[in-house]
Amino acid sequence: MFGAGDAHARVMLVGEQPGVQEDRQGRPFVGPAGKLLDLLDRAFAEAGIDPGEAYVTNAVKHFEFTQAEPRRRRIHKAPTLRETTACGPWLAAELALVEMELVVVLGATAGKALLGSSFRVTQVRGTVLEEEIHGRRERLVPTVHPSSVLRADDRQAAYDGFLSDPNAAARLLA
């Protein structure tokens, strides 16, 4: 599954992988984490970034899951390094196609796909990085994946932290 948005977007949001709803609908961020992405859009708008100027995609292009009995529900499974690497050419093509000014890295899997296995979102979230990505110099702002807010014990604190990171992006695009 490829991303969605304008090829002239100012911002590219790179997530982990499609979830069950995204897999079924063939569009990124339409499931529960997508609801938080709507809130991120609001945070971008409040920070002066037009959410319509975003391209949204995932580092891994397929939904990795296990079957749960008895209803055979599909349970999210973290993608392997091999799967992330295999999807790298598609992500590189999107990075080359979209003329963005900034990449917002949503979570550890996206960060590792773009920046290598030593990437740690907790160490660099909300900061501005300038890195060589697939042969191009890119500016990136890492943050946690929206789904981490849904799994947090203290959702309000996680949500507040999640929304603080667009400010770094807004300062860059101002």
User: Which residue spans within the chain are E strands per DSSP?
Assistant: 4-5, 11-15, 54-58, 65-68, 73-76, 102-106, 129-133, 136-143
Model confidence, pTM: 0.80
Yes or no: say if 40 and 33 are a contact pair by the CB < 8 Å rule.
no
The closest of 122, 147, 130 to 58, measured between CA atoms, is: 147
Model confidence over 120-135: pLDDT tens digits?
Answer: 988 998 888 999 888 8
Q: Which CATH superfamily is domain 4-173 in?
A: Uracil-DNA glycosylase-like domain (3.40.470.10)
CA dist list (Å): 149 to 42, 87, 89, 117, 168: 16, 26, 29, 23, 19
pLDDT at 139: 92
The whole-chain average pLDDT of the chain stands at 78
- Please report which confidence band the pLDDT of residue 72 belongs to, taking 50, 70 and 90 as the band edges: low
Domain chopping of the chain, boundaries: 4-173
